[in-house]
Amino acid sequence: MSIIEADKAVVYEAPMPYKRRARILVDKETVGAKNLALGIAFYEPGEKADFHTHDGEETMYVLQGQAIITVNEKKCVVKKGTTIYISPGEQHMLENPGRETFCFLFIFTPPGPERGIRKTWRQLL
């Protein structure tokens, strides 16, 4: 068993113009997980991700705030308590047009995209 305190995990910040932050909580590097990666992401007002895809599945669960997710050109508003499932290869992006921080858990199955966060995002803590 592993217990991870989110507020003690390393913070990574994406490069501009798609600045946002994430903490990777569970993956091979943190606890030896082989089949998934779990993290928490934070988008401040006005922040957004670029359009991207993943080879595997991504599931998100919104913890705080509200955002717009665009998947294959379809836009939906998501808010606290919403779960989002993204199929492999689906092009998607998130943006926070609101006035409060948008925060969500993300799960990658199989793991892999979290390695890109570690490799290309700046480590803050």
pTM of the model: 0.95
pLDDT tens-digit map of 39-57: 999 999 999 999 999 999 9
- Asked whether residue 125 carries a pLDDT value surpassing 70, the answer given is no
Predicted confidence at residue 85, as pLDDT, reads 98
Q: Are 49 and 20 in contact (CB under 8 A)?
A: yes
Could you tell me the domains of the chain? 11-123 (2.60.120.10)
Mean pLDDT of the chain: 96
pLDDT tens-digit map of 79-112: 999 999 999 999 999 999 999 999 999 999 999 9
Query: What is the token pair recorded at 22?
Result: 């994430």
How far is it, in rounded angstroms, from Cα 51 to Cα 72?
9
* Residue with token string 């199989």: 110
DSSP letters along 27-48, please? SHHHH--SS-EEEEEEE-TT-B
How far is it, in rounded angstroms, from Cα 50 to Cα 100?
20
